[in-house]
Amino acid sequence: MIHSRMNVPCRNHTAMTVEISELEEKARRIRELVIRTVHHAGVGHVGGPLSMADVMAALYFRILRLRPDEPNWEVRDRFILSKGHSTSAWYAALAERGFFPVEHLKQMYRLNSPLQGHPDMKKTAGVDMSSGSLGQGLSAGIGMAIGAAHKGQDFRVFVLQGDGECDEGQVWEAALYGGHHQIRNLVLIIDCNRLQQTGRIESTLNLDPLDEKLRAFRWTVLECNGNQMSDLLPTLERARDLSAEGPVAVVSHTVKGHGVSFAADRVEWHAKTITDDLARQALEELGAADVNW
């Protein structure tokens, strides 16, 4: 299922290696911030943010066209987190990219905070669409891509959605629409971490073969290991380039809770309090220089 693509786009091999290691460090840093944020809040989702951290690093430090000091720049690339419950990883990426101070992460989930438990476009710089009720992100992304085409703008739209989220009927309404109309400049990334809140995907509602389903809906489908930057980055670059012709889906195979041994591939770590001891262990495993902020 997971296949490595050998034909990486033309690029100096040494430069590529450096770039990959820089992005791996960003992903590591995002995971570290997710653990600190959820530990500090005393509540929160853990597994989902950890599975998607690499995608956040690649998008926010290489793929997306952004101006952190001008978050509403009209032709910025759009990013929608359809799996809104995993937003601590998005907040971490936005903070690392300079949209707001890392210090703000300590306020997540608190009353009067700009960082809500699910993304709120009216409260958080860099958030282009509110989400939290699953299954809506792809529809919103299609609308943004239509708006871009109508206005003659060349920005791209990236939507990150969960695999469990594919249970929602609206996902397939949107997939049907996107394929039928061959919506351009739209990339759907599906974070396939193989777990949903109460069990495994295959024992809840089996999605296999997800790639064939999407192809049958007339999407171009790429697959990669979403926790391996050397595979993920070139796949996202290729998806970005191919989206000029029509909608592209990236089936990104990941491990829920990736990078933290006690949470990896464990259903109970969908959302859970991280105790002081476990936070210390997780941060050590993630190579954090200091367990304190």
Partner 1 sequence: MSIGDRIAPRVAFGEAITELGRASSDVVVLDADVSTSTMTCIFRDAFPDRFYNVGIAEQHMFTMAAGIASTGLIPFVSTFACFATRRAADQIHISIAYTGLNVKINGAYGGVAVGQAGATHQAFEDLAIMRAIPNMVVLDLCDAVETRAAVFAAADYDGPVYLRTVRCEVPVIFDEAYDFEIGRGYVLRDGSDVAIVSSGMMTPKALDAAAQLESLGISARVLHYPTLKPFDRGPLVRAAHEIGRFVTIENHSVIGGLGSTVAEVLAEEKPSHVRRLGMQDSFGESGDDEAFLTKYGMNTQHIVQAARELAKE
Phi-psi region of 152 (alpha: psi -120 to 50; beta: other; left: phi over 0): left
138 Cβ contact partners less than 8 Å away, ≥ 6 residues apart: 82, 159, 161, 170, 171, 174, 175, 178, 188
148 lies in the binding site for partner 1 (CB under 8 A): yes
Q: C-alpha angle 162/168/170, rounded to 5°?
A: 110
Which of 51, 87, 130, 185 touches partner 1 by CB under 8 A?
130
Least separation in angstroms between residue 182's CB and partner 1 is 14
Nearer to partner 1, 173 or 212 (CB): 173
Q: Any idea which residue has 């990426």 for tokens?
A: 93
133 lies in the binding site for partner 1 (CB under 8 A): yes
**Region of 134-142, 229-237, 242-250, 278-286 interacting with partner 1 (CB under 8 A):** 134-142
Nearest to 55 by CA among 166, 247, 163, 189: 189
Please measure the distance between the N-terminal and C-terminal CA atoms of the chain and give it in whole angstroms.
39
254 lies in the binding site for partner 1 (CB under 8 A): no
Which of 8, 24, 114, 177 touches partner 1 by CB under 8 A?
177
246 lies in the binding site for partner 1 (CB under 8 A): no
**Region of 8-16, 59-67, 168-176, 235-243 interacting with partner 1 (CB under 8 A):** 168-176
Q: Let me know how long the chain is.
A: 293
**Region of 43-51, 63-71, 170-178, 257-265 interacting with partner 1 (CB under 8 A):** 170-178
Report how many residues bind partner 1 under the rule CB under 8 A: 31
Give me the amino acid identity at 158.
F
Three-state DSSP class for 163? Answer: coil
Least separation in angstroms between residue 66's CB and partner 1 is 16
User: Binding string, 104-123, against partner 1, x = CB under 8 A?
Assistant: ----------------xxx-
Q: Any idea which residue has 């200091």 for tokens?
A: 290
153 lies in the binding site for partner 1 (CB under 8 A): yes
Asked whether the beta carbons of 259 and 28 are under 8 A apart, the reply is: yes
Bridge-based pairing of strands 199-200 and 195-196 is antiparallel
Nearer to partner 1, 185 or 235 (CB): 185
141 lies in the binding site for partner 1 (CB under 8 A): yes
Burial class of residue 15 in the structure, from the number of CB atoms within 10 Å of its CB (0-12 exposed, 13-18 middle, 19+ buried): exposed
50 lies in the binding site for partner 1 (CB under 8 A): no
User: Binding string, 57-86, against partner 1, x = CB under 8 A?
Assistant: -----------------x------------
Q: Which residues bind partner 1 (CB under 8 A)?
A: 74, 120-122, 128-133, 135-136, 139-148, 150-151, 153, 169-170, 173-174, 176-177
